[in-house]
Amino acid sequence: MTKITVLPHPDLCPEGKELEVEPGTSICNALLYNDIFIEHACEQSCACTTCHVVVRKGFDSLEAAEEEEEDLLDKAWGLTSVSRLSCQAMVADEELVVEIPKYTINHARENH
């Protein structure tokens, strides 16, 4: 099992949380399985940026992002050099510290 520390997020995880997940699980699924309801408007098909996370520790343990993910990340709010789409980033054996950005770009939600 791999430990993921989720930093506090005002709406999704106000207290922060520590998770233990199987390697090979996407960060998105790890969050969802542990009742942290991160947006994933495209149902984890790598077609939006709503599940964008910042990997503050353990980023180098993740496999490199593919070109499609990199192109989408360019559109993410609050992009950093250690940003990933959580639906594409698979947990390895190294502990991670993950921050969920305060804002997301969800065109479907913004129209309401």
Q: How confident is the model at residue 106 (pLDDT cuts 50, 70, 90)?
A: low
**pLDDT reported for residue 32:** 97
Lowest mean pLDDT among 31-35, 58-62, 103-107: 103-107
22-53 pLDDT, tens digit per residue, is 999 999 999 999 999 999 999 999 999 999 99
The mean predicted confidence, pLDDT, of the chain is 92
User: What are the angstrom distances between the C-alpha of 94 and each of 4, 63, 88?
Assistant: 9, 12, 17
**DSSP symbol at 62:** S
Number of domains comprising the chain = 1
Alpha carbons within 13 A on the beta-carbon side of 21:
25
Q: What are phi and psi of 70, to 5 degrees?
A: -60, -45
Domain holding 89: CATH number?
3.10.20.30
The reported pTM is 0.92
Range of the domain at 87: 2-110
**pLDDT reported for residue 109:** 46
Token duo for residue 73: 């990340």
Could you identify the residue written with the tokens 């054996």? Answer: 93
**pLDDT reported for residue 103:** 80
